[in-house]
Structure 1
Amino acid sequence: MFGFKVALFGAVSALSLSSAAFAADAEAPSVDELVVTGRRPIAESVAAALEAQRSSDSLVSVLSADAAGNLPDQNIAYAIGRLPGVAVQRDQGQARYINLRGAPVYWTTLSFDGLSVVSPQGRDSRFDNIPTAIASQITVEKAITPNLAGASVAGNIDIRTRRAFDYPGQTFTGKLGYGKVELGGGKEFDSSLVYSNIFADGKLGIVAQGSYYMREMATDNWETDPYLSNTVDPSKHFAREHENKHYRLTRENISGSLRADYRIDENNSVFASTIYTQYHDDELRDNFIFRLDQGTNAAGAGYASAANITASDPTFGVSYGARINARIDYRDSVEEMSTTTLGGEHSWSGWDVSWRANYTDTSDGRDAPLTAALQSPSSFLLRPTVQYDFRDGDVNTVKLFQTLGTTTARVMGAQVTDIEAFQFPLTSIGNLVGADITQAWTGKLDISRETELFGRETKVQFGVLYTDRQKKSREAGYTKSFTTGTIPTWSTFATDIGYLGTQNLNYTFRYTDKGFTTAFVNNLIATGQATRTDTRGNYYLVGEELAALYAMATTQFDWGNIVYGARVEQVKNTGQAYVTFPAAGTTPANTRLVQTSSEDTMVYPSVHLNWNVNDEVKARLSFTTSASRPDFDDLRPNFTINDATQSISGGNPEAKPEKQIGLDAYVEWYMTPSGFLSAGIFYKDIADVLVKRSSVYGATTLNVPGIDRSGYAYNAIGNGGDGHLQGLELAYTGTIETFAQANNLPEWMEGFGTSVSATFTSSEVSLPANNGVASRKISLLGSSDAVYNVQATYEKYGLSVRLAYQYRTPWGESVGDYQTIAGGVYPVDNGDIFWDADEELDFSARYQVNDILEIYVDGANLTNQGSRRYGDQSRYPIEFEKFGRRYTGGVRFKF
C-alpha cells in the first residue's frame, strides 16, 4: 500500500460530471489535501477530470484515467455514457452511439488528440469500436470554439491517447478478465496491455498498447411488422408478418496503438502516432417469418381483405394457410479504423505553433458469407395455420397447426410443435462481399500568441485546416435459385443444437451448421452453379474537400475571460454512381455512370463568457453556430427512374447542411472541501433540417433524347424542416466524508458517495407536407424527454465499489410515411419508429491487493430489461429483444 495526495474537488464520484472551466491563469481557490492510504481509483479519476474542466475555456465534461491509467468500462461508448447530458443507443445490448443533450447521433463528432477523424459509418460516429484502453482522458466538448469543426453541432468527443511522459519511466499496465454471458451461456474475455518507457536522457518517450475483447451470446428476439395499411378500418393495425430472429453472436474488439514523442529542446517537440481499431461481428441468424398476409380466414377470405379486417382482431386471431419464410444469414462484418498522425509543438519568438498531418482509412464491412431463403409451397394444405397472440406487446407469440379442409372451408388441425414438420424448401442461396471504405488526408496548422488587445491580456489564435475525404461503397456476390430437381430443406443444413434462448416459441427448431452451409455455397460458386449478381446499382463514390480558416481570441478580465472568434469552412462535394436508364421504345435499358458536384461556404461565429463568481462558483454563457452536413450516402447520385409514374428516387447530391444557432448558460459550484454541483440550460435553433420529402427533380442530369425528366416527382432526403431543441442539465457528486468526520461517525462510513445527473429536453421539428399529408411536427430523432444517471459508490481501505443505473425515456429512430384516409391521418406501414424507454444497471467492485495487483468483478445489464421498438404509437410494438446479464472478473496490474 502506498500514499498519495488527492485534491478533493469531488473525491468519491464514480465519474467526472459536467463542469465549466476557467482561464489557466485565473486565481485558483485554495484546495485542501488529504493523504490517503491505498489507491483510490474513483477519487483519482475525478480529481484529474475536475482539474481539466476548471482549466478549460469552454463548456466540457471530462473523464480521466486513474493513476494506473485505467478508465471505467470496456469501450468509449459505455464510459462516456455515464456523464451528464449523455445518452447511449445500444446494439444487441452493447452501447454504440451517443446522443449528446438530446441531439441526433450524427451531430456529435469524434477526434483523437484534437484532430477530427472520420468514423467508418460516416457522420454517425460509432464509439463501441474504440476500447478505453487507448485513452488517458476523454473530453466531451459541448459548446464548441472556432478551433473546432463546424460540424460539431451537439459537441465533440476528443480522446487523448496515452503518452510516455504521462508515466515515470518504464511502466507496464494491463488487465485480464474472464466471464460468462447468461443468455446462451457464452464466454466473455477482456484484456489489455500498455508498455511505456522514456529513452535518450528523457527526450524520447514511447508507449505501445494492445487490447482484445470477445463476447459470445445469443438473443431473444421477435418482430411483428410492418403493419398493413387499409381503408376499411384504418384504426385496426394488422401485422403483415411475425418473425423470430434466432441470433448467435461472437463480437470482438481489437486495438493497437503506438506513439513516440521526441523533445528536441524546451521549445520544440515532435511526435508520431498510429492507432488501429477493429470491431468484428460474427453473427449467425436463423430466422422464421410467418407471413400472416399470405393466409386467409376460415372462409378463404384474404387476411388483408375487407371481410377479414371487419370481423377480426388484429392482436389475436388465426391465419389459415399462412406462409413460412425462413432465412439463414451469416454476417461476418469487420469494421476497421486506422489513423496515423505526425505532429509538432514549437515556440518561436513568442509564437506557439502546432501542426498535424494525418491519414485515416476506415472500412465498414458488411460481408455475408451466406444468405439463404426458404419458403412454403403454394398449396395451403402444406402450410401452417397460425394462431397469433399480440395482446401482451412484450411477448408476441404464434402457435402452429395443421391446415385442413377446402379452399373456402378451412379447418385448424392438430397443433404442430416441430417447425420442420412443415415444408419450406430452399428457393435461393448465395453470398455477398461488401464494404463502405473511407480515406481521408488532413493537414492542420494552429498558431497562437500571448499579447495585449484593448489594453487587456489576450491570447490570439489562428488556424487553417484542409481535409480531402472519399467514401466508396462497393459489393459483389453470387446467387443460385432452386425451382426443380432435388431441393435442399432446412434439415439439410441443421445441427443437433436446439434453441438457446428463453422465449416460449411454441415450436422447436434446430440451429444451422455454419461450416457445412458456407461450404455448400462455396461449392456452388466453385462449380459454376451460382451466378455473379449485378451490384453496380449499389456502388457510389462521394468525395468531400473541406478547407477551413479560423481566428479567435481569449481576453482576460479580473472576473474571468471571454473567448470569441469565427470559423469559415468551404466544402466541395463530388459524387458518382451507376444509374439504370429505362428502355425507351425499342431502345434497351442501359446502365451509366452519373457524376455530380456541389459547393458550399459557411461562417461560424461564437462567443464564450467565463465568469468567476467567487472562489467556488463559476458561471458560463456561450453563443455558438454550427451546421451538420448531409451524410455521404445521402449525397450519392444513386437514382431509380420510373418513367411510367414520372418519378425519381434515391440520394440527393444537392442536399445542404442543417444549420444551428446555440445558447448555453451553466453555473457550477465546486464545494469545499469536496463535492460538485452544476446546473445549465441550453437551446438550439435549427433550420433546413434534412427530411424525406417530395419535390420536383429540376435537373437535366437524367434526361435522354426524347425524354425530359427535369419535371419528374423527386422523392429523396432534402432540406425542409425548421425547429428547436432546448433542455436543462443537472449534475451533483459528493461524499459523506466531511459529514461523517464532523459528526464523529465510524471511519468506515466516510467511504460512501453518490453521483447523480439528469437531463431534460424538448424538441420540435416541422416536417413539410408530403404524400397529401399536411405539415406536421415531430421531436428530433434520438431525443429523449429525460435521461438519468445515478451512481452509488464506496471507496475505502483499497476497496472501490460502484453501482450505476441509467434510464432514458423513449426516443425516435426514424421518420415514416403517413396518408390521409377519410379525413384522418394514419401511418403507411409502421409510420414513425421509436425506441421505448431503456435502462441498465451495472455493478463494479475493485480491491487493491498490493502496489502491483488489483482484482475486480463486474456485472452488466443486471435488470435484463428488453429493448422494445414500436411504430407510430407505443401500443403498436414491432420488435422486442433481450440479451441477458453478463458477469466478469479478473485482475488489473501495474509495475
Structure 2
Amino acid sequence: MIMRTQTALLRRASAFALVIAAATMGVAHAEDDNAVTDVVVTARRPLAESQAVALQIQKNSDSLVSVLSADAVGALPDQNIAFAVGRLPGVGVERDQGQARYINLRGAPVYWTTLSFDGLSVVSPEGRSSRFDNIPSAIASLITVEKAIVPSMPGDTVAGNVDIRTRRAFDYNGQKISGKLGMGRVKLGGGDEIDSNLVYSNVFGDKLGIVAQASYYSREMATDNWETDPYLSNTVDPSKHFAREHENKHYRLTRENMSASIRLDYKFDDNNSIFASTINTYYHDDELRDNFIFRLDQGTDAAGASYTSAAYINGNNPTFGTVYGARINGRIDYRDTKEAMSTNTVGGEHRWNKLSASWRLNYTYTQDGRDTPVTMAFQSPSSFLLRPTVEYDFRNGDVNTVKLFSTGGVTGARVKGAQITNIEDFQFPLTSAGNLKGGDYTNAYTAKADFDYEGELAGHETKFEFGGLWTDRTKKSRESSFTRNYSGSGVPTWAQFASNIGYLGSQNLNYTFRYTNKETTEAFVDGLVRDGTAIKNDTTANYWRVGETITAGYAMATTRFDWGNIVYGARVEHIENEGQAYVGSRLVKVKSDDTLYYPSAHLNWNLREDLKLRVGVTTSASRADFDDLRPNYTYSDSNQTVSGGNPYAKPERQVGLDTYLEWYAGRETFVSAGFFYKDLKDVLVQTSRTFGETTLNSGGVDRSGYAYTGIDNAGEGHLQGFEAFFSGTAETFVQSHGLPSWLGGFGTRLSGTWTSSKVTLPSVGGVPARTISLLGTSDAVYNVQAIYEKYGLTLRLAYQYRTPWGQSVGAYRTINGGTYATDNGDIFWDSDEEMDFSARYQVNKNVEVFFDASNLTNQGARRYGDQSRYPIEFERFGRRYVGGVRFNF
C-alpha cells in the first residue's frame, strides 16, 4: 500500500512538472511576441560558470575533492547524477542497458563509493553499491566527490564519497521557476525518450524558504543480446572450451525514472536555522524478455556421439561446428522491476560565538523489487527428429550466431536437413507457467550530531571537530510465487502467446520469430492463479533478514599555518550484525559484532598562491553487502541464478596514501596530478561457478545448472595508480594575442586514471595460489571533453573509455600439471566506451533550447570468461537523441 501510494504521488508530481513546463513555455513565447524588439540577450557560458565556481570551492577545501557546480541558473547539463559525475576526473561509470548507473572512483570497485545528501550518508536500494541513475541532476546545486577520507565520513568510504548538496531557496533571490522538457527517439527499437523536470523555489518573509522539484524520464527500447556459456569442463582436451548453450535474449523494455522532493528551511536568525526535507526517487523497468536457448550439450555428432563425449571433443571445433538434435529451451519472463528510495531528514544549524553545532534525524526506506508477472518455460520434445540440427559459429566474438536445420536419419547416422528460418516451425511446448512477487526492503534510522569549535593549539588557529552517529538498518527479502507444470498432449505452444511484432533488433539471427503479446500472456497466467490450477510455491528458501547497527564517534582537528593546514583525527565504529534465513525448514539465526578504528591525517600545503600540494594517509573498511551476509542460498528461476550468503565474511580493510599537486592557473584553467596507493587485507571477492547441487531442486525444476555467485574473503593485495586532469579554455590566449574573439570559445577537459592492483587468492583444491586484479578495477579510465562556448551557444563532445575489469572470481582445477578454468573461470567486462554530444543555445535570458545525442559510437558491452577469446555475452543498446527546451524565470 505504501509503495502504491508513493508511486501515485510521484506520477502526479511528474505529470505536474510537464504541465507547468508547457504552460510556462507558452507564457515565455507570448512575452517574446509582445516585446521582441526590447529583448537583450546576455550570453551565458554555463559550463564556464559552473567550472569557475567549482574550482573556487575545490581550492578552498581542506581535503582532496572534485566539484561539479550548477551553472548560474542552477542547472546541471546531464539528466542524472551518474552521467553528471562521470564527467569529473578519475571517475568511471558502469552501465545497465546503456544507462550510467554506478560510479567508480579512481578505477576502484563500485562498493568503495558511498552516497550522501547534504553530508548525511544514505543507503541505496541495492545496498552498499550506491545507485546514481535514479537521482536526477535537477535535485542538486553542487556535487562534491570527496576523495580524501576524513574522520567525519563513514568508515566504509574507501575510494570516496559523492555528496549531493540539494537546492535551497536561500540560494536564489525570491521566487524562481526553472525546468526543462525534452523529447526524442531511441534508434534501436524505435522507442520514445522523454526527459523533463520542474523546480520551484521561493522565500517568504526572509525567514521561510521552500524548494520543490519533480522530474520524469523514460525511454522505450529494444536490445541486441546473446550469451554463449557456460564453457564446459573436460579432461579430454581442456584447452578446448565448448559452450554448453547459446542464447538469444530478445528484450523490449520501457524504463522510467521519477522523483519528487521538497525542502523547507527556516531561519530564526543569522546563527540558527532548521530544515526538513524529503527526497523520493522511483525507478521502474517494464522489461519483456523473450529468450531462445539452444542447448548444444543435449545434441550429438552425426554418429550419435554426445556433445560432451571424447569422440565429439576430439573431432570437433568449439567455435564452429554442427550439433544434431540440440534442444530448444524457450523462455518468457516479464520483469516489472520497481526500485524506490525515500529519504526524509530534519536537522538544524546553530552557532554560538566560536562553537557551531549541526544535527540530523533521518529515516530512509528503499525497495529493490523483482516482480515477475509472467515466467514461462518451453522445451523441445525428447525425440531428436523433432529437434533442430544447430550449426554454431562463434569465430567472431562479437557476432556469435547459430543456424537451424531439420534433423533426420537414425540414432547412429543423423542427417542435417533443410535450413529452417522460422523458429516456430520447431516444437517446443510449454513446460511451466507462473509468476513471482517480491523484493528486498530496507528501513534505516539515523541520528547524527556534529560540533566544531574555533580555538588555538600551540599558538596556531585550530578548528576542533567532534561528533557521533547512530544508525540502524534492516534489510529483508520476501516473495511469493505460483507455478503450473505441463506435460503430455494438448500443451500450449509459443504461437498461443505470440503477437504480430517481429524482431526489432539489428543482429543477424538466421531465424525469424514473433515477440509475445504482453496482455495475452499476463491474462493467461493470472487465470491460472485465479482458477487454482497454478499452485502456490514454498518460498521460505528465498526469505532472509539482515540487520546492522552502527554506533560511531569521531574527533578531528584542522590546524592552520602560514603555508596551509593539517587535518588529523580518528573515527571509531562499533558494528553489530544479525541475520536470519531458512535452511530447509529450519530458521537459522546468526549474530556478530566488531569494532573498527579509522585514524587519518592530511596535509594541505600552499606552495604558491596558485599551487597546492595535498598529502593524505587514510584508513577504511568495506563490509560485505547486506544480502551477502544472509545465512542461506536464494535463487531466481527467471534469471537462472543462485546466490549464496556468507554471514562470516570479514570486513575488507584498507590503508591508503594520496599525494596530489593542484595548479589553479587561471579562472578557467586548472591542472592536477597525483599518485594514490591502498594496501588491502581480507579482500572481498565475488565468486562464480555453476551451482552443481540438487539441494534447491523443487516442483520439477532442476536448478543444478544455474549460475552461482557468492562473496568471500581472499588474501591480501594492493591498488596503486596515477591520475591527471586538465581543464582550460582559449579565452585568455586569444585576448592576449589579439586573435578573433570567436576563437576564445574553444576549451577542453582531459583526465586519465591509470591503476594497477593485485590480490592474492589462496590455494584451493590443489590449484596453486594465484594473483588477480582487484574486481571492478580498470587499468585505465579516460575522459575527454571538447567544448565550444560563445555567444550563447554551448557545444560539448564528451568521450569516456575504460579498459576491462573483473566481475567475479571463478573456479579452476589442475589437469596434467596445467591450470584450467572450471566452467567460465574468472568473468570480466571488456573495455567500454561512450561518446555523447550536447548542444545548448540561449534564446533569451529565460529560454534555452538543447539537443543531446548519447552513445554515438554504439559500442556493445561484452563479457568474457577467463580470457578475452572466450566471450560469454554481448549486448548493444543503440543511439539516443533528445531535443527540447529549458526555461528559467
Q: TM-score, normalised by structure 2?
A: 0.91
The one-letter code sitting in structure 1 at the alignment partner of 2:60 is S
Q: Deviations over 1:679-706 (max 9, x none)?
A: 0000000001124689xxxxxxxxxxxx
Q: Does 1:100 align with 2:94?
A: no
The one-letter code sitting in structure 2 at the alignment partner of 1:529 is T
3-state SS, counterpart of residue 129 of structure 1: coil
Q: d(CA) in 2 for partners of 1:546 and 1:429?
A: 44
* Aligned twin of 1:325: 329
* Aligned twin of 2:703: none
3-state SS, counterpart of residue 716 of structure 2: strand
Q: Does 1:574 align with 2:568?
A: no
1:218 to 218, 222, 231: 222
The one-letter code sitting in structure 2 at the alignment partner of 1:397 is T
The one-letter code sitting in structure 2 at the alignment partner of 1:171 is K
Asked if structure 2 preserves the Cα contact closer than 8 Å seen for 1:693 and 1:768, the reply is no
Q: Deviations over 1:352-387 (max 9, x none)?
A: 010000000000000000000000000000000000
**How far 1:339 sits from its partner (Å)?**
0.3
Asked if structure 2 preserves the Cα contact closer than 8 Å seen for 1:693 and 1:770, the reply is no
1:604 to 590, 598, 604: 598
* Aligned twin of 2:429: 425
Q: Does 1:683 align with 2:688?
A: no
Q: d(CA) in 1 for partners of 2:142 and 2:537?
A: 47
Give the direction of change, closer, same or farther, for the CA distance of 1:716–1:136 in structure 2 (3 Å limit): closer
* Aligned twin of 2:653: 659
Q: Deviations over 1:599-631 (max 9, x none)?
A: 000110000100000011111000000000111
* Aligned twin of 2:745: 751
Q: For 1:27-46, list aligned pairs within 5 A.
A: 37-46=42-51
Q: Does 1:618 align with 2:618?
A: no
The one-letter code sitting in structure 2 at the alignment partner of 1:840 is E
Q: d(CA) in 1 for partners of 2:537 and 2:591?
A: 29
The one-letter code sitting in structure 2 at the alignment partner of 1:681 is F
* Aligned twin of 1:629: 623
| Large movers: runs of 4+ above 4 Å | none
3-state SS, counterpart of residue 46 of structure 1: helix
Q: Does 1:736 align with 2:737?
A: no
3-state SS, counterpart of residue 646 of structure 2: coil
Q: For 1:175-214, list aligned pairs within 5 A.
A: 175-199=180-204, 201-214=205-218
3-state SS, counterpart of residue 721 of structure 1: coil
Give the direction of change, closer, same or farther, for the CA distance of 1:431–1:313 in structure 2 (3 Å limit): same
Q: Which runs of 5+ in 2 are unaligned?
A: 1-40, 635-641, 689-708
3-state SS, counterpart of residue 603 of structure 2: strand
Q: Deviations over 1:219-246 (max 9, x none)?
A: 1111111100000000000011001000
3-state SS, counterpart of residue 520 of structure 2: helix
1:315 to 296, 316, 319: 319
**How far 1:674 sits from its partner (Å)?**
3.7
* Aligned twin of 1:264: 268
Asked if structure 1 preserves the Cα contact closer than 8 Å seen for 2:51 and 2:668, the reply is no
* Aligned twin of 2:351: 347
* Aligned twin of 1:672: 666
Asked if structure 1 preserves the Cα contact closer than 8 Å seen for 2:354 and 2:455, the reply is no
Q: Deviations over 1:57-109 (max 9, x none)?
A: 11100111111111121111111111111111111111111111121111111
**How far 1:743 sits from its partner (Å)?**
2.1
Q: Deviations over 1:499-529 (max 9, x none)?
A: 0011110000000001110010000000000
* Aligned twin of 2:448: 444
Q: Does 1:472 align with 2:476?
A: yes
Q: d(CA) in 1 for partners of 2:468 and 2:809?
A: 38
Q: Does 1:524 align with 2:528?
A: yes
Q: Does 1:772 align with 2:766?
A: yes
2:794 to 800, 812, 826: 800
1:782 to 776, 779, 783: 776
* Aligned twin of 2:870: 876
1:537 to 536, 541, 549: 541
Asked if structure 1 preserves the Cα contact closer than 8 Å seen for 2:834 and 2:858, the reply is yes
Asked if structure 2 preserves the Cα contact closer than 8 Å seen for 1:691 and 1:721, the reply is no
Q: d(CA) in 1 for partners of 2:267 and 2:812?
A: 63
**How far 1:649 sits from its partner (Å)?**
9.9
1:47 to 52, 58, 62: 52
3-state SS, counterpart of residue 481 of structure 2: strand
Asked if structure 1 preserves the Cα contact closer than 8 Å seen for 2:228 and 2:247, the reply is yes
2:400 to 385, 396, 400: 396
Asked if structure 2 preserves the Cα contact closer than 8 Å seen for 1:75 and 1:131, the reply is yes
The one-letter code sitting in structure 2 at the alignment partner of 1:268 is N
**How far 1:348 sits from its partner (Å)?**
2.3
Give the direction of change, closer, same or farther, for the CA distance of 1:367–1:267 in structure 2 (3 Å limit): same
3-state SS, counterpart of residue 54 of structure 1: helix
Q: Deviations over 1:541-589 (max 9, x none)?
A: 1000000000000000000000000000000001111111xxxxxxxxx
The one-letter code sitting in structure 1 at the alignment partner of 2:168 is R
**How far 1:656 sits from its partner (Å)?**
1.5
Q: Does 1:91 align with 2:91?
A: no
Asked if structure 2 preserves the Cα contact closer than 8 Å seen for 1:789 and 1:804, the reply is yes
Between 1:829-838 and 1:739-748, the stretch displaced more is: 739-748
Q: d(CA) in 2 for partners of 1:692 and 1:615?
A: 47
**How far 1:51 sits from its partner (Å)?**
1.5
* Aligned twin of 2:568: 564
Between 1:371-380 and 1:45-54, the stretch displaced more is: 45-54
Give the direction of change, closer, same or farther, for the CA distance of 1:349–1:42 in structure 2 (3 Å limit): closer
Q: Which runs of 5+ in 1 are unaligned?
A: 1-35, 581-590, 641-647, 695-714
Q: d(CA) in 1 for partners of 2:315 and 2:710?
A: 38
Give the direction of change, closer, same or farther, for the CA distance of 1:716–1:894 in structure 2 (3 Å limit): closer
* Aligned twin of 1:115: 120
**How far 1:638 sits from its partner (Å)?**
1.3
**How far 1:716 sits from its partner (Å)?**
6.3
Between 1:139-148 and 1:664-673, the stretch displaced more is: 664-673
* Aligned twin of 2:846: 852
* Aligned twin of 1:643: none
Q: d(CA) in 2 for partners of 1:349 and 1:59?
A: 29
* Aligned twin of 1:82: 87
Q: TM-score, normalised by structure 1?
A: 0.91
Please provide the CA RMSD for this pair.
1.6
Q: d(CA) in 1 for partners of 2:430 and 2:343?
A: 44
**How far 1:349 sits from its partner (Å)?**
4.4
3-state SS, counterpart of residue 68 of structure 1: coil
3-state SS, counterpart of residue 62 of structure 1: strand
Q: Does 1:501 align with 2:495?
A: no
* Aligned twin of 1:125: 130
Q: Does 1:435 align with 2:439?
A: yes
The one-letter code sitting in structure 2 at the alignment partner of 1:368 is T
Give the direction of change, closer, same or farther, for the CA distance of 1:639–1:755 in structure 2 (3 Å limit): closer
1:548 to 543, 549, 552: 552
Q: d(CA) in 2 for partners of 1:650 and 1:729?
A: 37
**How far 1:174 sits from its partner (Å)?**
0.4
Give the direction of change, closer, same or farther, for the CA distance of 1:674–1:692 in structure 2 (3 Å limit): closer
**How far 1:37 sits from its partner (Å)?**
4.1
Q: Deviations over 1:433-473 (max 9, x none)?
A: 01100100000000111000111100001100000000001
Q: Deviations over 1:798-821 (max 9, x none)?
A: 000000011111111111111111
Q: Does 1:410 align with 2:414?
A: yes
Q: d(CA) in 2 for partners of 1:221 and 1:155?
A: 34
* Aligned twin of 1:273: 277
Q: For 1:799-878, list aligned pairs within 5 A.
A: 799-878=793-872
Asked if structure 2 preserves the Cα contact closer than 8 Å seen for 1:109 and 1:151, the reply is yes
3-state SS, counterpart of residue 94 of structure 2: strand
**How far 1:788 sits from its partner (Å)?**
0.4
Q: d(CA) in 1 for partners of 2:255 and 2:643?
A: 36
3-state SS, counterpart of residue 417 of structure 1: coil
Percent identity of equivalent pairs: 71
Q: Does 1:760 align with 2:761?
A: no
Q: Does 1:228 align with 2:232?
A: yes
